[in-house]
Amino acid sequence: MFSQISRQVAVQVARNFSTSSTNNFKVAVCGASGGIGQPLSLLLKVNPLVTDLALYDIVHTPGVAADLSHIDTASGVKGYVGAEQVAACLKGADLVVIPAGVPPLKALNGEKNVVECAYVESKVTEAAYFSTPLLLGKNGIEENLGLPKLNDFEKKLLDTALPELKKNINKGIEFAKK
């Protein structure tokens, strides 16, 4: 019996033994409070290669960091807010990811030919709202560029999805009116 237990322990020790060094990999996410930055930060937090996660944004980053700190992984996480903390966030980073929403800001600042897809009120399809490429400008949406050219298969998929999409849009509109 003792030999069987010692054999099992030996097998477990062999599985856990590693001759490689540990990965100390710091990742900085600039734009961590946004719609892309938050789920990206979550994925990085659970990645075993990441040992230190630095989150930066202009607002709310300590809250995002606090939420992620509750995930039971070996990586540490810290939030940085404001221009004065950018250097501290980036210090020692092996990888910097910037998912911050720059295109809409460029358009609002007067840059020409900024195109971004967005889910907006639209007359492109039968649905009251639809996501299409938009030409953005100083005043917001300058022009809805409509749907790109669709092949027959894509047209069929769109036609199949529209009834359900319209139903969900109407449900959302009714909810917003309450």
DSSP string for 37-65: HHHHHHHHHT-TT-SEEEEEESSSHHHHH
Q: 51-91 pLDDT, tens per residue?
A: 999 999 988 899 999 999 999 998 999 999 988 999 999 99
The pLDDT tens digits of the residues spanning 135-172 come to: 988 888 899 999 999 999 999 999 999 999 999 999 98
pLDDT digits (tens, 9 = 90+) for 28-52: 999 998 888 999 999 999 999 999 9
The reported pLDDT for the residue numbered 3 is 64
Structure-block tokens of residue 60: 């709310």
Residue the block writes with tokens 């221009």: 83
Whether the CB-CB separation of 133 and 147 falls below 8 Å is answered with no
Domains of the chain, earliest start first: 23-97 (3.40.50.720), 103-177 (3.90.110.10)
The answer to whether residue 18 scores a pLDDT higher than 60 is: no
Q: Tell me the two tokens of residue 177.
A: 């009116």
Q: Are 34 and 100 in contact (CB under 8 A)?
A: yes
The pLDDT value given to residue 166: 94
The pLDDT value recorded for residue 114 is 85
pTM over 0.75: no
